[in-house]
Every structure is written in structure tokens, then in C-alpha cells.
Amino acid sequence: MKCTICKKPAIIKLRHANLQLCPEHLVARVEKVVAETIRKFKMFTPEERILVAVSGGKDSLALWEVLAKLGYRADGVYLDLGIGGYSARSREYSEEFARSRGLTLHVVPVRRELGAGIDELVKIARGKPCSLCGTVKRYLLNRVALEGGYDVLATGHNLDDEAATLLGNVLRWEEGYLARQYPVLPGEGKLVRRVKPLVFLSEREIAAYCIVSGIRYIYEECPHAAGARSIVLKHVLNELEDRYPGTKLQFLRGFLKVRDRFRPPEPVELHYCPSCGMPTTSEGPCRFCRLKERVAREALRVTGNDAAA
């Protein structure tokens, strides 16, 4: 198999793009697609300060690598979620990456901010792990970006993530979510702009980019993600992709063309949490502060029980 571009031995076939690529041209393609996506959606300018949400996985580390290579001013933030050995290992990969490239990484332990890590929170709040974790991550990432004076928060959401989210929203006809699904979410007040520069790259080419570029990342899956709906949706999409190459890309690109037809049921009004001052969609304390209060109550209850015993 030869590289479509230079005819040297190819290592990967990208059927959706009708390409066979050698390591050198795979790297070039990934960086070109990211650069074009940033430009097309006017995600940020070279002068702006970018904060990359880093998890230690392939997507966020690849994104950080590409942004740094393209000359953007990108720092990273790693949230230590407190998920047993998984968090310890993913933190190690993130720190190693930053160190080896001389990049700035902010490490924020969730336990310090919330009073509990995700493992404990899941037991206390008894909610769906991915939903609880999502709330904590969205809140803390926005706050770190805001307090650090960053213009934009960049996440490693890829084509597979976006196509799976889209399929999930379409299956339930979630008009509000469909209206908001876009590679750029503009900032407003204390809500920092969020961007997804990898949305047109498949997980497979991003993983290949990491391997070829010598980026060490965490292969293992979050223990709480087992059986998550998003994984089932991705599997269904990959079955389709295998039969009809290009399905995921066509699905997402097609949606972005008609997205304007979807409107949120009601305009979302932003309020500010009386406790932490951060933006929230409902009046009263934000969801993060409510979770924090619950964790504190649980800690008091346990201490009280210990004292009684």
C-alpha cells in the first residue's frame, strides 16, 4: 500500500477521505484539517490565549500538540478527577507531555474544589457518573479559563464524539441540544468561549497521529464509562461507517448545514450563582455548588456518626 501523496509505504487507509498515508503525510493532514477548522469557524486568532482541556487521552494531547506546532498560545489544564488509578495514570501522561514540550499545565484536583473526587461523588449523589462528571468538568474548566484570563477553552471532541452526540440528540429529537451543537460555542459574560478544533478528524486518525508523533497517552477507558450510551452509539456508527465509508463525516457536515433550522424551545437566560458567582441556567445556587453542599453534608454526617460511635 502506497501513500496517495508521495508513493512511499503507507501505514493507514482513511476510507472516508479516500486516502492512504505514510507517517509524514498523516501528520501533515491532521495539522492541515485542524488549521482549516480553526479558520473556517473563526475559533480564535493567533493573539488570543487558549486553554486546552487535557485529560491524558489521545484527543486532548493531539490537540495541544497541533496547536503548539501551529504557533498558537496554548496552555493546558488537567482536572484530577479522583478516579482511582485511572486518574493517577492519566495525570502522569499529561504532565509528561507538558514537561517534554516545555508547555504550561495547570493541575486542578477536583477533591480540593468539591470536597470529593468523582469516585466518592458517584456514591454520595447517586447520579449517572458521566453526567455528574460532566457537570464538574464544565464548571471547573470554565472557572479556570475565566480566572486565568484565557480567551477560549479548547476541547478534544472528535468526529466520532460529535457524530455520536448528534445521533443521540436526533434519536430523542432534542431540539434544544441540536440548536446548541456546534464547533464553537460563543462566550457570554462569565462563560468562556468553547471550541472543538478536532471535529472533522476521526478517532482512528487522531490515535495514529499520537503514535506516529511519539505522544504517549492513556489507552484505558475510564472505569465509570463502561456501558455508557455514547459508546453504544459510536459502535452503531462504526458499523455503518464500515459498510458506507464517510457516513460519520456526511452526517456531521450535513447537520451543520441545516442546524439553523433548530431552535432552543426557550431562550436560555443566564443567571449568576449567589454562592460562587459563576454562570448558571437556573436561579439559585449552580449545580456545582449544590453538589459541593451535598458532599459537605455527607462529610458532616459521617463525622457525626464517627463521633457518636
Partner 1 sequence: MPIIKHRDRIHEVEAGVDLERAIRELGIIPETVLPVREGKILPPDHRLEEGEEIELVDVISGG
- Judged by the rule CB under 8 A, the positions of this chain that interact with partner 1 are 1, 9-13, 20, 23, 57-59, 129-130, 133, 160-161, 164, 202-204, 206-208, 211-212, 219, 221-222, 224-225, 228, 230-231, 234-235, 238-239, 241-242
Q: CB-wise, 26 or 50, nearer to partner 1?
A: 26
Quick one: which of 66, 67, 87, 65 has its CA closest to 78? 87
Least Å distance, CB 228 to partner 1, is 5
Residue 230 φ/ψ, nearest 5 degrees: -60, -35
Quick one: which of 263, 271, 63, 280 has its CA closest to 181? 263
Residue type, 127: G
Least Å distance, CB 218 to partner 1, is 9
Find the helix or strand (DSSP H, E) in which 191 lies. Answer: none
Q: CB-wise, 195 or 210, nearer to partner 1?
A: 210
Q: CB-wise, 136 or 152, nearer to partner 1?
A: 136
Sign of CA dihedral 94, 97, 100, 103: negative
Q: CB-wise, 239 or 293, nearer to partner 1?
A: 239
Residue 280 C-alpha from the chain's centroid: 20
Least Å distance, CB 214 to partner 1, is 9
Least Å distance, CB 299 to partner 1, is 27
Q: CB-wise, 23 or 115, nearer to partner 1?
A: 23
Sign of CA dihedral 74, 75, 81, 82: positive
Least Å distance, CB 32 to partner 1, is 19
Cα separation, 55 vs 76, in Å, equals: 10
Least Å distance, CB 199 to partner 1, is 15
Q: CB-wise, 36 or 220, nearer to partner 1?
A: 220
Least Å distance, CB 222 to partner 1, is 5
Q: CB-wise, 230 or 275, nearer to partner 1?
A: 230
Quick one: which of 131, 211, 196 has its CA closest to 159? 196
Angle made by CA atoms 40, 45, 50, in degrees to the nearest 5: 110
Extended beta strands in the chain, E state: 12-14, 19-21, 49-54, 73-80, 105-109, 152-154, 184-185, 193-195, 271-272, 279-280
Residue 118 C-alpha from the chain's centroid: 17
Least Å distance, CB 94 to partner 1, is 15
Residue 74 φ/ψ, nearest 5 degrees: -120, 120
Q: CB-wise, 191 or 252, nearer to partner 1?
A: 252
